[in-house]
């Protein structure tokens, strides 16, 4: 991009939990998908990490919104503000010249036309002049280096905040897919509910997230090298409102998330059921790839491998796989026939 060029090219992974922007193959923005809006005048006061820190800290003054729910836009106004705010965070973004922006944005594979339209409108309003879209599992596969246009089939399981998307890809298309609304957020809800029911402890989403990261596990028995120490959760008692200090182990957190993890397992099996046999054989040979933040859950790949008896691999840097693939698509807008205009 020369000095006098007025076109900026960006790839956006607009996730329910995190938004990642890639420019010239570099991750330039990686922020939680949250905006904070002033209740008094409905203006955006913060976006990303700064907005996330305001969650639950004063809803009558500043309202925090996650504009995406279950992978699709739930609040248009907030989403537009969020995209604009994140674009402004790109280092050296030329605000003065109001450059025209070429964008590739990803959308969940199960998106309806209306949902795709919503992403396009938000991107247009945020300054995109030349907007393309790509299905998320396709982007994830490209991001982990798979040749999506080859006849060889591959299976991607992308576990994000709102949805788990499972897709079989071959010849530049999604041949089979299954999407469920059970993913990272559902696990956090399981933890909130469990801490209340079992320990009388009242906690919010950010604490549940910390518990999951520190002692979350898909297995009740982990190898010693992987097993985390107990984690002490502090919060108010639901009964007395006095502070409680509750140590939790990975075993109990694993139990409380069991039902949700079993749903993810079942969804993978259902996707395999609808996979054409020739592609199934490729998947058995190459394994299944886990992407998205949920791929980082301790013991998950092992649990799925044991259950499905096909090797399940965690992609390198799973939180950025979709964004990286979207970045590759940005450079190939004229070659990749599967992009949506």
Kindly state whether residue 9 participates in binding ligand ADP, applying the rule CB under 6 A: no
Kindly state whether residue 303 participates in binding ligand ADP, applying the rule CB under 6 A: no
Smaller CB distance to Mg ion: residue 15 or 235? 15
Among 293, 299, 325, 327, binds ligand ADP (CB under 6 A): 293
Tokens 């002049």 identify what position?
Answer: 129
**Three-point CA angle 221, 225, 230, nearest 5°:** 65
Smaller CB distance to ligand ADP: residue 160 or 327? 160
Per-residue buried b or exposed e for 195-231, using 16+ beta carbons within 10 Å of the residue's own CB: beeebebbbebebbbbbbebbbbbbeebeeeebeeeb
Task: Build a one-symbol-per-residue string for 144-163: x at contacts with ligand ADP by CB under 6 A, - elsewhere.
Answer: ----------------xxx-
**Residue nearest to ligand ADP according to CB distances in the complex:** 184
Smaller CB distance to ligand ADP: residue 214 or 286? 214
Shortest distance, CB of residue 187 to ligand ADP, whole angstroms? 7
Shortest distance, CB of residue 297 to Mg ion, whole angstroms? 15
Among 168, 169, 297, 328, binds ligand ADP (CB under 6 A): 297
62 binds, among ligand ADP, Mg ion, none (CB under 5 to 8 A by kind): none
324 binds, among Mg ion, ligand ADP, none (CB under 5 to 8 A by kind): none
Interacting residues toward Mg ion by CB under 5 A? 15, 160, 322
């Amino acid at each position: 991009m020369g000095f006098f060029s007025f076109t900026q090219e960006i790839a956006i992974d607009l996730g329910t939990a995190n938004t990642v922007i890639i420019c010239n193959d570099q991750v330039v923005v990686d922020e939680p998908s949250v905006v904070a809006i002033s209740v008094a005048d409905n203006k955006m006061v913060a976006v990303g990490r700064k907005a996330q820190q305001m969650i639950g800290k004063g809803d009558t003054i500043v309202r925090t919104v996650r504009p995406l729910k279950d992978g699709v836009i739930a609040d248009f106004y907030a989403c537009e503000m969020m995209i604009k705010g994140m674009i402004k965070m790109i280092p050296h973004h030329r605000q003065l010249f109001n450059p025209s922006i070429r964008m590739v944005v990803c959308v969940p594979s199960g998106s309806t036309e209306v949902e795709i339209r919503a992403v396009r409108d938000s991107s247009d309003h945020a300054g995109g002049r030349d907007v393309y879209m790509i299905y998320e599992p396709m982007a994830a596969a490209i991001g982990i280096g798979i040749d999506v246009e080859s006849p060889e089939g591959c299976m991607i399981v992308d576990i994000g905040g709102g949805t788990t998307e499972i897709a079989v890809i071959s010849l530049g298309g999604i041949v089979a897919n299954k999407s469920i609304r059970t993913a990272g957020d559902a696990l956090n809800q399981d933890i909130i509910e469990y801490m209340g029911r079992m320990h009388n402890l009242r906690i919010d989403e950010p604490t549940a997230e910390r518990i999951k990261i520190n002692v979350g596990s898909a297995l009740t028995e982990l190898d010693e090298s992987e097993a985390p120490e107990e984690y002490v959760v502090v919060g108010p008692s639901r009964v007395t409102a006095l502070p409680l200090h509750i140590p939790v182990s990975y075993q109990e957190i694993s139990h409380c998330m069991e039902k949700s993890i079993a749903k993810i397992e079942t969804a993978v099996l259902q996707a395999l059921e609808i996979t054409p046999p020739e592609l199934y054989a490729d998947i058995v040979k190459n394994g299944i790839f886990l992407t998205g933040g949920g791929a980082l859950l301790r013991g998950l790949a092992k649990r799925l491998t044991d259950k499905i008896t096909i090797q399940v691999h965690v992609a390198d840097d799973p939180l950025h796989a979709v964004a990286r693939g979207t970045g590759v698509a940005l450079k190939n807008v004229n070659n990749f026939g599967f992009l949506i205009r």
